[in-house]
Amino acid sequence: MADLRSTRDAGSLTQRTYTLQPVRSRAVRAALWTGVCACSVAVGAAAMGWYATQHAGLAAQCASAPVSPDDMQAELERSRLALAQESTARAAVQKAADASAAEVGLLRTELLFLRDQSQKRR
């Protein structure tokens, strides 16, 4: 059987310098990057616009609610009463906790005494 391979000189193929060549031209690559940047800017601007419209409505709603001085005074009094009730409740809880801690101390002392007495009997 005859060898069908070409009889080119292998030395000339190995002595060449090979470099990577871009598939697309510089103009196409620059246009693609410009398009990507433009799309990113458009999406960012749309997101900022949506955010501004959402929060502008909330600020307008808060600013437009008129409050009379009587209503403000009544709310202040309710808040003061709630604060006084909370302070009283906290004081009562703290007093109960202190009493419980004192009782635990007494019980611990009694327990140590009783353990000591039981060890002395043995």
Q: What is the pTM of this model?
A: 0.41
CA distance linking residue 35 with residue 45, whole number of Å = 15
pLDDT tens profile 79-115: 999 999 999 999 999 999 999 999 999 999 999 999 9
* Structure token digits, residue 45: 């601007």
The three-state secondary structure class of 4 is coil
Say if residues 29 and 22 touch (Cβ distance below 8 Å).
Answer: yes
Q: Which residues contact 22 (CB under 8 A, 6 or more apart)?
A: 29
* Structure token digits, residue 36: 């990507």
pLDDT tens profile 13-39: 677 777 777 788 889 999 999 999 999
Please report the pLDDT score of residue 8 as a whole number: 60
Say if residues 16 and 8 touch (Cβ distance below 8 Å).
Answer: no
